[in-house]
């Protein structure tokens, strides 16, 4: 009986669109969120001002996301001048704006880290873990979804997926992989108890 109820629940969620994953080439949902300093950012404005935008769901308390802090800074430094915007989004219910601000400053983030209250943006993107990346073009179309690279331990990285993708796209080429499996801590949603 429990299996039947669970199956019915999953089917109803899928039907309502709550489990819908974004597809490569689709337009991503628009968002307007505030940075930890109170400044508002909209995806539409960011994408129009840049060749590509990397939307990164990140966290302050997740050890996997934190293992990528230096790599995110290096990616920003390597690609910002080439027309790639980086935007961090924190959707975790237990991570307040003051903690996000301190974390961003402590780790030298030069990109905005926006607070996604009530995880509405994470839900719209169906983002599940931190870090999880969505690369978007100027028209708001999804070009890449997945991980930054293939290992939490930087010394063991064999595939720098995000950098490879950005290099290909900036050169006007199709990236070798448009989707990879993101891994990390699950986003702690307000509706998940």
Grouped pLDDT means (10 residues each) for the chain, 193 residues:
33 43 96 96 97 98 98 98 98 97 98 97 98 98 98 97 98 97 97 59
Identify the three-state secondary structure at position 180: coil
Report strand pairing: 84-90 vs 113-115: parallel
Instruction: Give strand pairing partners of 138.
Output: none
CA distances for 128 relative to 1, 2, 146, 164, 189, angstroms = 28, 25, 11, 23, 10
Kind plus residue range of the DSSP H or E element containing 118 = none
CA pair distance 136, 24, nearest whole angstrom: 10
21-186 carries CATH number 3.40.30.10: yes
């Amino acid at each position: 009986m429990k299996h039947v109820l669970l199956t019915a629940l999953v089917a109803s969620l899928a039907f309502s669109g709550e489990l819908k994953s974004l597809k490569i080439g689709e337009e991503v949902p628009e968002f307007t969120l505030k940075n930890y300093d109170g400044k508002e950012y909209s995806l539409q404005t960011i994408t129009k001002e840049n060749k590509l935008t990397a939307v990164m769901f990140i966290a302050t308390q997740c050890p996997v996301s934190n293992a990528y802090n230096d790599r995110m800074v290096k990616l920003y430094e390597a690609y910002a001048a080439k027309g790639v915007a980086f935007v961090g989004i924190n959707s975790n219910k237990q991570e307040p704006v003051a903690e996000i601000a301190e974390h961003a400053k402590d780790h030298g983030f030069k990109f905005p880290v926006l607070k996604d209250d009530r995880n509405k943006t994470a839900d719209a993107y169906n983002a599940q873990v931190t870090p999880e990346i969505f690369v978007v073009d100027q028209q708001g179309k999804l070009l890449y979804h997945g991980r930054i690279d293939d290992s939490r331990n930087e010394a063991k990285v064999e595939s720098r997926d995000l950098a490879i993708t950005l290099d290909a796209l900036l050169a006007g080429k199709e990236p070798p992989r448009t989707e990879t499996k993101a891994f990390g801590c699950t986003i702690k949603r307000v509706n998940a108890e």
